[in-house]
């Protein structure tokens, strides 16, 4: 199956997951006012699938503005959407006032049933936080997110904690990484948008860094799959970004990725957002032209992921048009 990037227009922070023979796609919408979801049996079908609004931000309250980076996960006996939102667009101490929240739906099909606001997911640090993801490994479920720490300069670091329930962490947060390399501090000191892939005896975490213009780039952490993931000393960090702007191919600011697999389950796929032009008028945050893109992820002889260069046209193995 051949697909051309951009894959889905005007959808930033794309999250694609596969369960029960269906792909699910959610992302930030340019209005930042709601959580949306698409569902399809095929990857190509996501492009034109019905997009359902699961929840709209209320007119006021702590989660009434700037709805960012929803992710759909299944935990226990229900579906959950994790997202960040703020009480307003007001900036305090140089940052928006986002906290993390969850929606819940017990229906077998996340496009059906009723989605309820399940409240705040408290990180244990009362400061700007966003971009939560969740994953299970060796019988334990984890929560991984980006967070400002009052004692650490910059916008956000990445933290990991065990989960007691699908909406409550069950232990103190452990910092896995903070912005430290030159490519992580362009415009802003940012580590955000984590995504997890367990392969070849390792737990990999991709993440994004720097401002959300053409300087945005993807970095990589990894730990041995049998190690204690809550011990920061067990994590390794690439000193160089693994996926960056490619002006020749007109892909600018690739980042905030997720991972999924092809329909035959044989090939890992990288899903990310990017713009197809460099010059942005005004603040990049309000620019609607971050589009969802995808491409196969390669692996080297040592079992490490090879992100390669962004592709404008992609051949997806095992797919149906």
Q: Which residue from 75, 64, 66, 82 is spatially nearest to 26, judged by alpha carbons?
A: 82
Backbone angles phi, psi at 159, to 5 degrees: -125, 150
What secondary structure, in 3-state letters, does the chain show? Answer: CEEECCCECCCEEEEEEEECCEEEEEEECCCCCEEEEEEECCHHHHCCCCCEEEEECCCCCCCCEEEEEEEEEEECCEEEEEEEEECCCCCECCECCCEEEEEEECCCCCCCCCCEEEEECCCCCCCCEEEEEEEEECCEEEEEEEECCCCCCCCEEEEEEEEEECCEECCCCEEEECCCCHHHCCCCCEEEEEEEEEECCEEEEEEEECCCCCCCEEEEEEEECCCCCCCHHHCEECCCCCECCEHHHCEEEEEEEEEEECCCCCCEEEEEEEECCCCCCCCHHHCCCCEEEEEECEECCCCCEECCCCCCEEECCCCCC
The sign one gets for the Cα dihedral 178, 311, 82, 91 is positive
State the Rg of the chain over Cα. 18
Q: Give the span between the Cα atoms of 162 and 73, in whole angstroms.
A: 15
Catalytic member of 13, 213, 214, 263: 13
Q: Is 213 a catalytic residue?
A: no
Catalytic member of 71, 192, 213, 214: 192
Q: Is 13 a catalytic residue?
A: yes
Residues annotated as catalytic are 13, 192
């Amino acid at each position: 199956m051949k697909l051309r990037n951009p894959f889905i227009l005007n959808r930033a922070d794309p999250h694609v997951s596969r369960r029960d023979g269906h792909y699910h796609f959610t992302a930030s919408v340019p209005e930042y006012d709601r959580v949306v979801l698409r569902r399809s049996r095929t990857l190509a079908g996501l492009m034109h699938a019905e997009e359902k609004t699961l929840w709209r931000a209320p007119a006021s309250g702590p989660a009434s503005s700037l709805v960012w980076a929803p992710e759909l996960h299944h935990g226990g006996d229900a579906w959950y959407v994790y997202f960040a939102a703020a009480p307003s667009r007001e900036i305090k101490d140089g940052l928006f006032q986002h906290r993390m929240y969850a929606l819940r739906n017990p229906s077998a099909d996340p496009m059906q049933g009723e989605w309820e606001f399940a409240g705040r997911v408290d990180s244990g640090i009362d400061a700007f936080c966003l971009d939560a993801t969740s994953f299970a490994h060796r019988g334990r479920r984890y929560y991984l997110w980006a967070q400002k720490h009052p004692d650490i300069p910059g916008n956000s670091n990445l933290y990991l904690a065990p989960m007691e329930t699908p909406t409550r962490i069950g232990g103190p947060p452990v910092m896995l990484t903070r912005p430290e390399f030159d490519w992580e501090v362009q415009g802003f000191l940012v580590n955000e948008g984590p995504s997890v892939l367990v392969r070849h005896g390792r737990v990999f975490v991709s993440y994004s860094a720097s401002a959300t213009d053409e300087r945005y780039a993807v970095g990589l952490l990894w730990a041995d799959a049998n190690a204690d993931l809550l011990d920061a000393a067990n994590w390794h960090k690439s000193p160089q970004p693994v996926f960056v702007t490619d002006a020749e191919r007109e892909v600018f600011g690739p980042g905030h990725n997720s991972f999924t697999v092809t329909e035959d389950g044989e090939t890992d796929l990288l899903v990310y957002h990017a713009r197809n032009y460099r010059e942005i008028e005004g603040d990049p945050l309000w620019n609607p032209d971050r589009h969802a893109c995808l491409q196969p992820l390669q692996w080297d002889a040592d079992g490490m992921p090879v992100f390669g260069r962004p592709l404008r046209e992609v051949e997806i193995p095992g797919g149906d048009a």
